[in-house]
């Protein structure tokens, strides 16, 4: 059983009000605009959120109204969420990378009556789908450039909307406090849509009780406290960034930074130097690839020292700190000052007390790389329906290829089939307008994750794969595609790998090269290319990838070896319905689209 939750018995908006009362002039958020970091205190954060909530009331919105947000991460995103929360409206995040049909589906399915759009690009997606959104009553735009001439009663600027709230609050000065005083933990707070990798996204209803449990798990396992600093960059419509940006920081009063854009993450990381950091595997793979490229370009003595440092420190980091001898510690200190300090600064992670990888499995070799260079990385496991973090490593017991032990908020067990079942306050209320799916997901208070897991000898959980993704070869062997794919993706030349093998004689793969890494290799070897397609089709590139596949195969059982592969000549893309907004592969779409290439390998 899980222990009782030590956090305040406050909802998230109530906790925001507490900080505004107790430390009004402490900086809560920083937003970077035109290269300058602009601070917002807890008092300002609460005041602006309150104005947003009052504006919703001023135009007749009621408790439970859905308010969508379509934007990259920025201060207005969380002001909208907290403002809606203050008046017990429900916030619905929408991926800013989604095309108009996907945006229309989520906004329409959620019955959103208002939507906050970042700019003209996002607002146009809504205008394009207005006929399918009869319940939408207000489009609130943060950056009005290009929209001033739009002839629509629906549209209003974010600043003008806040002005409505200020005016309404002057007439009803005690309303916000009165509404917050009445707020209860079982009220709906968020609607988070699943990735939709196997069908239409489902709207998971998250309550304030769920959020409090999610906050506790993040705080306990990621060591978040009032002195912590975070860079918010993963989409806030994903539950992982919610517990990193909102759940944990608002409960403990930590500082959150919003960079200029998702495109400036690397630079923002170096400037912020966060004390805790969450990256999806692709972020870690990209950082790893950038370091390898830089080292290879440097060559000579620098590369020799780097190789020596990795060869020396990698095995030491594999051991528990209690097992380090004095000579081990001396070597780590030496190579920290000679090599790893500069690498950590380059990545922006030198002050990071704990870094986490989640949302999908990370390649063990990539994981080991960051451990070797001194980044205290752990792997975690969670789900939208579980309000964030379910398991994560303790820093004292880290095993690559596993996802740690249950967080403080979660009770976990494995079914007879090996399916991971979770119980506790973190289990969501249910799917919006889908009682059948809710009944299948929650049985006798246990949430059925659909993931197969197993415990290893160190007590850590290992995710085998999604139950529906496990393949059975023509020879009757059960294989985990994600395990094979992650082994392949440990190569910094391979960006994506999609395994084929269901009822087949052997395992094959569709492979997408990492353009930057392979392009750098091609330039060093004086290989001419013009586009992604021409680079992928080059025979020498095929030989390069073939060598990487052969190397990866040595780490797999013979039956799991990739015997043949096809190099994709274009990057997989969300707009082409090949990936979800969270960059998860839509396997069925890929198998259908590349059917001819797959059959040619057999």
Percent composition of the chain: helix, strand, coil (DSSP 3-state, to 5): 45, 20, 35
226 within a domain of the structure (yes/no):
yes
Are 102 and 204 contained in the same domain? Answer: yes
The answer on 32 and 96 residing in a single domain is: yes
The pLDDT of residue 465: 79
Q: What is the pLDDT of residue 150?
A: 82
Find out whether 255 and 249 touch, Cβ atoms under 8 Å.
yes
Q: Are residues 139 and 266 in the same domain?
A: yes
Q: What is the Cα–Cα distance from 549 to 509, expressed in whole angstroms?
A: 10
Assess whether 501 and 458 both reside in one domain: no
Output the 3-class SS for 441-480. HEECCEEEEEEEEEECCCCCEEEEEECCCCEECCCCCEEC
pLDDT tens for 329-341 read: 999 999 999 999 9
Tell me the pTM: 0.85
What is the domain-level CATH number for residue 218? 3.40.50.980
Same domain, 415 and 480: no
Concatenated DSSP letters of 466-517? ETTT-EE-TTS-EE-HHHHHHHHTTSTTEEEEEEE-TT-SSEEEEEEE-HHH
332: left (phi over 0), alpha (psi -120 to 50) or beta: alpha
Q: Does residue 529 fall inside a structural domain?
A: yes
pLDDT of residue 582: 66
With a cut of 50, list the residues of the chain below it in pLDDT: 1
CA distance 494 to 513: 5
Domain count within the chain = 3
- Please provide the DSSP assignment of 393-425 as one string: -BTTB--TT---EE-TT-EEEE-TT-EEEEEST
Residues 215 and 141 grouped into a single domain: yes
Q: Where are the beta strands (DSSP E) in 326-441?
A: 354-357, 377-383, 388-392, 405-406, 411-414, 419-423, 430-431
- Give per-residue pLDDT as tens, 262-283: 788 888 999 999 999 998 888 8
Is residue 249 domain-resident?
yes
- The pLDDT score that the predictor gives to residue 564 is 94
What does residue 300 show for φ and ψ, rounded to 5 degrees? 55, -135
Which of 240, 275, 310 is the last residue before a domain boundary?
275
Residue 375 Cα distances to 158, 381, 428, 511, angstroms: 40, 19, 33, 29
4 domain residue, yes or no: no
Contacts (Cβ under 8 Å, ≥6 apart) of 277: 230, 231, 269, 349, 352, 354, 355, 356
Q: Are residues 522 and 481 in the same domain?
A: yes
- CATH value at residue 324: 3.40.50.12780
Residue where a domain terminates, one of 466, 493, 516: 466
Amino acid 589: pLDDT: 85
Do 304 and 246 lie in a common domain? Answer: no
Helix or strand run (H / E) with residue 567: strand 562-567
92 and 178 together in one domain: yes
> What is the Cα gyration radius of the chain?
25
**Residue 133: domain span:** 12-275
pLDDT computed for residue 196 by the predictor:
63
The CB-based long-range contact list for 208-212 (8 Å cut-off, 24+ gap) reads: 208/11, 208/12, 208/183, 208/184, 209/185, 209/425, 210/387, 210/425, 210/426, 210/427, 210/428, 210/429, 211/11, 211/12, 211/246, 211/247, 211/387, 212/5, 212/7, 212/11, 212/12, 212/185, 212/251, 212/425
The residue among 450, 466, 482 that closes a domain is 466
User: Is residue 481 domain-shared with residue 432, that is, in the same domain?
Assistant: no
CATH of the domain at 500: 3.30.300.30
359 and 328 fall within a common domain: yes
Are residues 560 and 590 located together in one domain of the fold? yes
Q: Specify if 6 maps to a domain.
A: no
Question: What pLDDT was estimated at residue 470?
Answer: 81
> Taking Cα atoms as reference points, which of 481, 483, 488, 486 lies closest to residue 504?
481
């Amino acid at each position: 059983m899980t222990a009782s939750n030590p956090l305040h018995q406050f909802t998230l908006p109530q906790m925001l009000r507490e900080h505004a009362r107790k430390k009004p002039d402490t900086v809560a958020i920083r937003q970077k605009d035109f290269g300058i970091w602009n601070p917002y205190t807890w008092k300002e954060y609460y005041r602006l959120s309150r104005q947003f909530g009052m504006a919703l009331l001023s135009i007749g919105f009621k408790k439970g109204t859905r308010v969508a947000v379509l934007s990259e991460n920025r201060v207005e995103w969380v002001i909208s969420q907290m403002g809606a929360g203050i008046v017990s409206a429900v916030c619905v995040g929408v991926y800013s990378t989604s095309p108009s049909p996907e945006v229309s589906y989520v906004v329409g399915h959620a019955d959103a009556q208002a939507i906050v759009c970042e700019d003209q690009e996002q607002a146009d997606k809504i205008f394009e789908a207005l006929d399918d959104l009869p319940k939408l009553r207000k489009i609130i735009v943060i950056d009005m450039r290009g929209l001033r001439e739009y002839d629509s009663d629906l549209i209003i600027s974010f600043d003008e909307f806040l002005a409505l709230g200020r005016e309404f609050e002057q007439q009803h000065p005690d309303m916000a406090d009165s509404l917050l005083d009445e707020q209860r933990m079982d009220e709906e707070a968020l609607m988070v849509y699943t990735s939709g990798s196997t069908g239409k996204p489902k709207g998971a209803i998250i309550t304030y009780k769920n959020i409090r449990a999610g906050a506790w798990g993040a705080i306990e396992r990621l060591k978040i406290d009032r002195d912590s600093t975070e860079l918010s960059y993963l989409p806030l419509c994903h539950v992982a960034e919610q517990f990193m940006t909102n759940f944990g920081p608002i409960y403990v009063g930590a500082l959150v930074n919003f960079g200029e854009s998702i495109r400036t993450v690397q630079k923002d990381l170096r400037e912020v130097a966060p004390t805790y950091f969450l990256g999806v595997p692709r972020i870690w793979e990209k950082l790893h690839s950038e370091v390898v490229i830089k080292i290879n370009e440097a060559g000579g003595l620098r590369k020799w020292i780097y190789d020596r440092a990795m060869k020396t420190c990698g095995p030491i980091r594999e051991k528990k700190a209690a097992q380090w001898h004095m000579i081990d510690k001396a070597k780590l200190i030496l190579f920290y000052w000679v090599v790893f300090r500069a690498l950590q600064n380059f990545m922006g992670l030198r002050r990071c007390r704990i870094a986490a990888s989640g949302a999908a499995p990370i390649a063990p070799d990539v994981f080991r790389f960051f451990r070797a260079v001194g980044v205290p990385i752990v792997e975690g496991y969670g789900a939208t329906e579980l309000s964030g973090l379910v398991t994560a490593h303790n820093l004292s017991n880290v095993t690559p290829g596993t996802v740690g032990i249950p967080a403080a908020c979660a009770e976990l067990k494995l079914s007879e089939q090996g399916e991971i079942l979770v119980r506790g306050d973190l289990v969501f209320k249910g799917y919006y307008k889908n009682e059948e799916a809710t009944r299948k997901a929650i049985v006798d208070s246990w949430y059925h994750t659909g993931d197969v897991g197993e415990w290893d000898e160190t007590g850590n959980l290992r995710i085998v794969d999604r139950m529906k993704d496990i393949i059975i070869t023509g020879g009757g062997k059960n294989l985990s595609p994600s395990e094979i794919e992650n082994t392949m993706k440990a190569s910094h030349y391979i960006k994506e790998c999609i395994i084929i093998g269901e009822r087949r004689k052997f395992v094959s793969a569709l492979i997408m090269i990492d353009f930057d890494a392979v392009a750098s290799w091609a330039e060093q070897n004086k290989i001419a290319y013009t586009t992604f397609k021409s680079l992928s089709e080059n025979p020498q590139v095929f030989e390069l990838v073939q060598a990487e596949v052969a190397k990866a195969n040595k780490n797999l059982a013979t039956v799991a070896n990739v015997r043949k592969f096809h190099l994709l000549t274009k990057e997989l893309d969300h707009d082409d319905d090949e990936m979800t907004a969270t960059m998860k592969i839509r396997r069925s779409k890929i198998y259908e689209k590349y059917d001819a290439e797959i059959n040619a390998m057999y």
